[in-house]
């Protein structure tokens, strides 16, 4: 077989590509639309449910401890729950947090940013009122079956 000394490269007749004019139009459209995107993103509202969920979680944990208890004693910004096994679980306001202690030991921070904490005995259970440093008030009533 005989080798060829040259290679044939055909030219494409119909080549499509970007021209300077199409590039300038694209850049102009981008510069016109980008400021509107900033105003659109600022108008979107973002809601944060983290604080509400943390208080609902606190009420859930408190309810579980209340169900396990046989007796409770409320005092100024706190409550002591006596369990069947003899342990005493306390929830109280300590500086700007609510802390949980078992038999007076430990320091489990349950919620931060508290202004006041109030446990009130009502005819069928306990009423809990928490006011936060942000000004929000969370209230929950727990039924106690004896």
Q: Are 88 and 43 in contact (CB under 8 A)?
A: no
Question: Does some domain include residue 46?
Answer: no
- Is pLDDT above 90 for 28? yes
**3 vs 122 pLDDT, higher one:** 122
**45 vs 15 pLDDT, higher one:** 45
Q: Which residues of 15-32 are buried (b: 16+ CB within 10 A; e: fewer)?
A: eeeeeeeeeeeeeeeeee
* Interstrand relation of 137-143 and 88-94 (parallel, antiparallel or unpaired): unpaired
Question: Does some domain include residue 107?
Answer: yes
Strand partners, 72: 81
Q: What residue numbers bound the domain in which 129 lies?
A: 51-143
Confidence class for position 16, pLDDT limits 50, 70, 90: low
Of 68, 53, 72, 61, give the one whose Cα is nearest residue 109: 61
Tally of CA atoms within 13 A in the half-sphere of 106 that contains its CB: 13
Residue 17's pLDDT is: 66
E-state strands within the chain: 69-75, 78-83, 88-94, 97-102, 105-112, 114-122, 125-132, 137-143
- Is pLDDT above 80 for 29? yes
Confidence class for position 4, pLDDT limits 50, 70, 90: low
Question: Does some domain include residue 137?
Answer: yes
Number of domains the chain contains: 1
Residue 9's pLDDT is: 59
Question: Does some domain include residue 27?
Answer: no
Question: Does some domain include residue 125?
Answer: yes
Q: Give the mean pLDDT of 70-78.
A: 88
Question: Does some domain include residue 10?
Answer: no
68 exposed, middle or buried (CB, 10 Å; 0-12, 13-18, 19+)? middle
**42 vs 17 pLDDT, higher one:** 42
Question: Does some domain include residue 28?
Answer: no
Question: Does some domain include residue 7?
Answer: no
């Amino acid at each position: 077989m005989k080798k060829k000394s040259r290679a044939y490269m055909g030219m494409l007749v119909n080549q499509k590509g970007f021209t300077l004019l199409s590039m300038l139009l694209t850049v102009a459209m981008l510069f016109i639309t980008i400021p509107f995107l900033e105003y659109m993103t600022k108008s979107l509202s973002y809601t944060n449910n983290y604080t509400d969920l943390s208080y609902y979680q606190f009420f859930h944990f408190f309810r579980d401890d209340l169900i396990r208890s046989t007796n409770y004693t409320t005092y100024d910004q706190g409550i002591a729950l006596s369990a069947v096994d003899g342990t005493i679980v306390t929830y109280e306001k300590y500086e700007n947090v609510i802390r949980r202690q078992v038999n007076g030991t430990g320091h489990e921070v349950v919620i931060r940013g508290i202004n006041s904490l109030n446990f009130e005995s009502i005819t069928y259970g306990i009423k809990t009122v928490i006011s936060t440093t942000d000004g929000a008030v969370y209230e929950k009533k727990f039924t106690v079956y004896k």
